[in-house]
């Protein structure tokens, strides 16, 4: 299934192309000409037996926006196979809309249902089955899940049945499932919160601000979401009430229909809101850090536990000192559900053990959340943090789930590398950080990425936007030039072959073929090194003095460079993206 955001983007493209009607609506109304057209199409393609005597009409749910038609194809005769110029996912969405529209104006499916009640002393067994007699709307819109219908034998009342087997089974109740994007939208609709035009922004916002995390398509509340919710409920309890939100939506619908004055409604709301806002500015509790006695690896001052949109982390208490004495050192903490103990026999037992062994805070008795500090230490923090300052440090041997390969040694200093998790996924970091800042990415295959080559200083190449000079770096998109003063300067550029020739002895052996490439094209223009993401290869493009293409390219094929003159797409010659951070 698509995310809510992607669904709206695909629907927007279909709407802009004139393939479907306006999509930001939950109306169930259909234009008479649209109904007439689809009824005619059903009769001609599937037969008159599938067309009901009268058109099917559906009741709108409370709070639905009736300003637009229901979402439907603009022309029912335009089949999904006719959408040749659209991407596959857009065609799949159109196919769903097209089939749903046709199905809503077809006859219902018909089944023969049978139920048998079997008495055995004080016990009773019920068996049900049904047989499809007429497929109706299911002809165009088959059920997503194929129903396994049992065939009921021909029995008469009073027949004595023989017991052939008795298979005992257990059924356990389950807690309500976590919300998915689809189930959250249904819940918003049920409570009257939001409208079709705001569902996608709502779901995007709670993820972008770090309030929730989407794991295996299910939402998990994050610590910063708990903190923000608590503060808002304490200071704006009426605004956080479901009834207020639904009521405001209804008032705005009344305004949109021209039945109420928007100034009057907003004046009534703002008078009370302004009072609450003023009080909140002075009395709202701050998101204070929790003090610990864990030493900062850089300055040895004690570190604090902080909660932010990026998660729970440790920061040096020296951050608030004057600039000359300030320490900005932080340490990421990895949530305990991503960590397994080295003593766990398998993943399942490890998960069960983590749940059963969850500690309780010695200060308030609440359950504690666990976080990995490093491979020898786990930090337990009170679930009521930052309101409760309880924390405990556990020593042991721990590892991050997702890599079971051999121990990895740093290719720069030889120290062991530790698996960590950051904003861009899991990666290996040198255990001697911050003395050694080497990192290696963990690939989707579960294997560590090959070591990156050390940056090559090129002081003769000056940056245009600053006083810095360029370093030749090895990145995910091949070789590129980046300012040596990053992050102060984020200037980047494509290297030229002649730049590599001067530093050939400093290059890793795997890049020698680039240093051996022709430096100029047959017309004397310099060759620049570029990267093709699809093929994951580096190639050459000749450029004029202003950086525009000169018309020659070169590819390394069969152990030699092959030059050819061709028209180069300008989109392939864009400057590299700004250097955003350390390569992982």
- In angstroms, the CA 337 to CA 544 distance is 54
Q: How far is CA 49 from CA 81, 106, 107, 387, in A?
A: 25, 9, 8, 67
- In angstroms, the CA 560 to CA 525 distance is 20
Q: How far is CA 360 from CA 223, 336, 383, 475, in A?
A: 17, 15, 9, 45
For helices 88-103 and 4-16, angle between their N-to-C axes, nearest 10 degrees: 80
Q: Would you report the helix, strand and coil content of the chain in percent, each value rounded to 5?
A: 30, 25, 45
How many Cα atoms occupy the beta-carbon half-sphere of 44 within 13 Å? Answer: 8
- In angstroms, the CA 341 to CA 398 distance is 5
- In angstroms, the CA 256 to CA 263 distance is 13
Q: Is 22 annotated as catalytic?
A: yes
Residue carrying structure tokens 């779901």: 203
Reduced to 3 states, what is the DSSP secondary structure of residue 581? coil
Residue carrying structure tokens 């039945």: 259
Tokens of 278: 């003023």
Tokens of 583: 């390569």
Query: Residues 6 or more apart from 393 whose CB is under 8 A from it?
Result: 294, 373, 377, 378, 379, 380
Tokens of 288: 């204070």
- In angstroms, the CA 541 to CA 543 distance is 6
Residue carrying structure tokens 């029995």: 155
Tokens of 439: 């990192």
- Pairing outcome for strands 212-215 and 377-382: unpaired
Give me the residues paired with residue 97 across strands. none
Alpha helices in 257-307 (DSSP H): 262-283
- Pairing outcome for strands 302-308 and 290-295: antiparallel
Which one from 15, 22, 433, 556 is the annotated catalytic residue? 22
Query: Residues 6 or more apart from 520 whose CB is under 8 A from it?
Result: 526, 527, 542
- In angstroms, the CA 523 to CA 526 distance is 9
Instruction: Tell me the catalytic residues.
Output: 22
């Amino acid at each position: 299934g698509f995310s809510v955001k992607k669904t709206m983007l695909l629907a927007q493209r279909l709407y802009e192309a004139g393939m479907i009607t306006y999509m930001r609506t939950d109306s169930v109304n259909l234009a008479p000409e649209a109904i007439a057209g689809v009824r005619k199409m059903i009769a001609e393609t599937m037969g008159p037996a599938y067309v009901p005597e009268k058109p099917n009409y559906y009741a709108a749910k409370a709070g639905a926006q009736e300003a637009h038609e229901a979402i439907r194809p603009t022309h029912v005769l335009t089949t999904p196979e006719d959408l040749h110029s659209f991407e596959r996912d857009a065609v799949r969405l159109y196919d769903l809309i097209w089939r749903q529209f046709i199905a809503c104006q077809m006859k219902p499916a018909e089944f023969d249902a049978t139920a048998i009640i079997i008495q055995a002393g004080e016990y009773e067994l019920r068996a049900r089955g049904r047989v499809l007699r007429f497929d109706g709307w299911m002809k165009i819109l088959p059920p997503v899940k194929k129903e396994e219908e049992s065939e009921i034998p021909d029995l008469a009342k009073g027949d004595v049945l023989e017991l052939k087997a008795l298979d005992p089974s257990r059924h356990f109740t389950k807690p309500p499932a976590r919300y998915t994007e689809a189930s959250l939208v249904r819940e918003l609709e049920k409570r009257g919160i939001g409208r079709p035009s705001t569902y996608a922004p709502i779901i995007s916002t709670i993820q972008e601000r770090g309030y929730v995390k989407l794991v295996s398509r299910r939402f998990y509340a994050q610590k910063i979401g708990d903190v923000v919710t608590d503060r808002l409920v304490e200071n704006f309890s009426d605004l956080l009430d479901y009834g207020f939100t639904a009521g405001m939506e209804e008032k705005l619908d009344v305004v949109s229909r021209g039945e109420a004055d928007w100034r009057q409604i907003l004046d009534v709301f703002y008078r009370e809101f302004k009072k609450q806002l003023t009080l909140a500015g002075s009395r709202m509790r701050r998101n204070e850090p929790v003090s610990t006695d864990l030493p900062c690896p850089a300055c040895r001052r004690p570190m604090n536990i902080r909660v932010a949109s990026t998660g729970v982390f440790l920061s040096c208490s020296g951050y608030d000192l004057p600039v000359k004495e300030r320490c900005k050192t932080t340490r990421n903490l990895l949530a305990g559900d991503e960590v397994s103990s080295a003593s766990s026999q398998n993943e399942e037992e490890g998960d069960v053990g983590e749940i059963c062994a969850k500690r309780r805070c010695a200060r308030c008795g609440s359950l504690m959340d666990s976080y990995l500090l490093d491979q020898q230490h786990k930090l337990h923090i009170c679930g009521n943090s930052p309101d409760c300052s309880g924390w405990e440090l556990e020593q042991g041997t721990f590892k991050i789930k997702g890599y079971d390969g051999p121990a990895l040694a740093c290719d720069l200093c030889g120290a062991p590398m530790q698996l960590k998790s950051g904003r861009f996924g899991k990666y290996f970091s040198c255990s001697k950080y911050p003395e050694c800042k080497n990192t290696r990415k963990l690939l989707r295959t579960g294997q560590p990425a090959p070591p990156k080559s050390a940056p090559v200083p090129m002081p003769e190449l000056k940056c245009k936007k600053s006083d810095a000079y360029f370093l030749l770096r090895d990145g995910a998109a091949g070789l590129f030039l980046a300012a040596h003063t990053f992050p102060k300067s984020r200037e980047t550029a494509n290297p030229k072959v002649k730049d590599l020739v001067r530093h050939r002895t400093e290059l890793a052996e795997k890049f020698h073929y680039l240093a051996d490439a022709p430096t100029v094209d047959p017309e004397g223009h310099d060759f620049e090194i570029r990267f093709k993401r699809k093929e994951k290869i580096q190639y050459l493009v000749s450029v004029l003095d202003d950086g525009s293409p000169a018309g020659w390219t070169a590819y390394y094929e069969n152990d030699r460079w092959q030059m050819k003159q061709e028209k180069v797409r300008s989109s392939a010659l864009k400057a590299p993206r700004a250097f955003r951070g350390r390569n992982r």
